[in-house]
C-alpha cells in the first residue's frame, strides 16, 4: 500500500533513474576505459559490463529514448543468456559442435575456392566462336518471358510544323548523311536514340513513349504519334514475343558468364588434383588398402 502523507515513487521511476545513471556511467566508460569495469547485469555466471554496450545503442538518442534503448539491450542480453542456458541443457552440444565444424569447413572451402578463381579469372579467355556454338546448341532453352523490341526513337516538342516535317524525313531515312543532319537539331530534342542495337522490354519502352503500340505478326514498322504536345517518332526494327527464341546478342552476356564459370571450375579442379598429387608425392597422405 502507498504510505499516507508521503510522496509515492513508483518502481518505473526508480528504473528510469537507474538506467539514466547507467547511461551516464556508460558514456564516461566509453571515454576512459582504464577505470574499473562496471557490471550492469548477470545471468548464470556471465556478466554484462557497461563498456560492452555498444555506443550505437544510445548514440543520437536523447532522454527517454536512450534510456529505453539501453533497457531493451540489457533485457535482450539477459533473455538470450537464459535461453542459451536451457538450450545447452536440452540440446546435444556434440551435434552442435559437429554442425559448427561442418559449417567452418564449408566456409573455408568456399573462401579458398573463390580466392583461387579470383587469381585465375583474368587468365580465362573466351572465344566468340565458342559462345556462338554454345548458343546454337542451346538456343531452344533461351526463350523470351516478355515482349522485347529493338528500336530507334525521337521525342521533340510538337510546336514547329516545318521543323518537325523535316525531322520525320531525316529520322526515317536510311541514308547515313540524313541521320548526320539530325545533329543540327539536337538542341530541340527531348530524347533520342539513333543506335539500333540493343533490346528493351515493351513495358520499359512504354515509359519512354507512352503511346507506343506494337502490331501483332509485324516485326518492323514506323510510328508517328502526338501526345501531350510531344511528337513521338519510333522506328520498330524487330519484335520478340513471349515464347520466342531470344537473339544471340541478348543472351550473350549470360552465356559468357556461364562459359567463364565453367572454365573457372575446370581450372579449380585441376588445381585441386595438383594439390592432391603433391601431397601424395610428399607422403602427406596415405591409403590403407591394397
Q: Do 223 and 251 fall within a single domain?
A: no
Is residue 233's pLDDT more than 80?
Answer: yes
What whole-number distance in Å separates Cα of residue 33 and Cα of residue 198? Answer: 61
Q: pLDDT: is 27 or 182 the higher one? A: 182
For the chain, the domain total comes to: 3
For residue 58, the model assigns a pLDDT of: 82
Is residue 121's pLDDT more than 70?
Answer: yes
Domain assignment present for 101: no
Q: Do 151 and 225 fall within a single domain?
A: yes
| 174: CATH | 3.10.50
Q: Do 34 and 168 fall within a single domain?
A: no
Query: Of 140, 126, 125, 127, nearest to 251 (Cα)?
Result: 140
Q: Do 208 and 252 fall within a single domain?
A: no
| Domain span holding position 71 | 11-90
Lowest-confidence segment of 27-31, 163-167, 210-214 by average pLDDT = 27-31
Residue 278: all three cell numbers together: 603433391
Residue with cell 526515317: 172
Q: pLDDT: is 31 or 210 the higher one? A: 210
What whole-number distance in Å separates Cα of residue 58 and Cα of residue 146? Answer: 49
Q: Do 185 and 216 fall within a single domain?
A: yes
Task: Kindly give, in sequence order, each residue whose CB lies less than 8 Å from that of residue 178, ignoring residues fewer than 6 positions away.
Answer: 169, 170
Percent of the chain scored above 90 by pLDDT?
Answer: 56
Lowest-confidence segment of 48-57, 109-118, 204-213, 264-273 by average pLDDT = 48-57
Give the pTM. Answer: 0.60
Q: Averaged over 237-253, what is the pLDDT?
A: 92
What whole-number distance in Å separates Cα of residue 255 and Cα of residue 249? Answer: 10
Q: Do 84 and 158 fall within a single domain?
A: no
Q: Do 230 and 157 fall within a single domain?
A: yes
What whole-number distance in Å separates Cα of residue 139 and Cα of residue 247? Answer: 8
Q: Do 130 and 254 fall within a single domain?
A: yes
* Residues found in the chain: 290
Lowest-confidence segment of 83-97, 168-182, 253-267 by average pLDDT = 168-182
What whole-number distance in Å separates Cα of residue 171 and Cα of residue 165? Answer: 10
Strand partners, 48: 41
Domain assignment present for 288: no
Q: 26: helix, coil or strand?
A: helix
Q: Do 207 and 234 fall within a single domain?
A: yes
Angle in degrees, CA 207, 213, 217, rounded to 5: 135
Q: Averaged over 73-82, what is the pLDDT?
A: 94
Domain assignment present for 114: no
Residue with cell 550505437: 56
Q: Do 131 and 257 fall within a single domain?
A: yes
Amino acid at each position: 500500500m502507498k504510505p499516507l502523507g508521503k510522496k509515492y515513487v513508483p518502481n518505473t521511476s526508480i528504473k528510469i533513474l537507474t538506467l539514466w545513471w547507467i547511461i551516464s556511467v556508460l558514456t564516461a566508460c566509453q571515454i576512459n576505459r582504464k577505470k574499473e569495469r562496471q557490471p550492469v547485469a548477470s545471468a548464470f555466471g556471465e556478466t554484462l559490463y557497461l563498456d560492452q554496450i555498444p555506443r550505437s545503442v544510445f548514440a543520437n538518442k536523447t532522454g527517454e529514448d536512450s534510456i529505453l534503448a539501453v533497457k531493451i539491450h540489457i533485457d535482450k542480453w539477459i533473455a538470450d543468456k537464459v535461453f542459451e542456458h536451457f538450450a545447452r541443457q536440452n540440446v546435444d552440444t556434440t551435434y552442435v559442435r559437429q554442425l559448427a565444424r561442418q559449417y567452418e569447413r564449408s566456409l573455408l572451402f568456399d573462401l579458398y575456392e573463390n580466392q583461387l578463381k579470383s587469381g585465375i579469372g583474368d587468365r580465362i579467355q573466351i572465344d566468340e566462336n565458342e559462345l556462338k556454338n554454345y548458343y546454337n546448341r542451346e538456343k531452344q532453352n533461351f526463350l523470351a518471358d516478355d515482349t522485347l523490341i529493338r528500336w530507334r526513337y525521337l521525342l521533340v516538342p510538337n510546336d514547329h510544323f516545318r521543323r518537325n516535317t523535316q525531322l520525320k524525313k531525316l529520322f526515317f531515312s536510311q541514308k547515313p548523311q540524313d541521320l548526320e543532319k539530325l545533329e543540327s537539331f539536337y538542341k530541340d530534342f527531348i530524347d533520342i536514340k539513333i543506335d539500333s542495337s540493343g533490346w528493351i522490354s515493351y513495358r520499359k519502352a512504354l515509359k519512354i513513349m507512352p503511346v507506343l503500340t506494337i502490331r501483332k505478326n509485324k516485326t518492323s514498322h514506323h510510328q508517328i504519334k502526338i501526345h501531350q504536345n510531344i511528337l513521338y517518332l519510333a522506328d520498330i526494327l524487330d519484335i520478340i514475343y513471349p515464347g520466342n527464341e531470344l537473339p544471340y546478342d541478348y543472351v550473350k552476356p549470360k552465356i559468357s558468364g556461364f562459359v567463364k564459370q565453367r572454365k573457372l571450375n575446370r581450372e579449380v579442379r585441376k588445381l585441386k588434383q595438383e594439390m592432391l598429387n603433391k601431397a601424395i608425392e610428399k607422403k602427406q597422405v596415405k591409403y590403407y588398402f591394397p
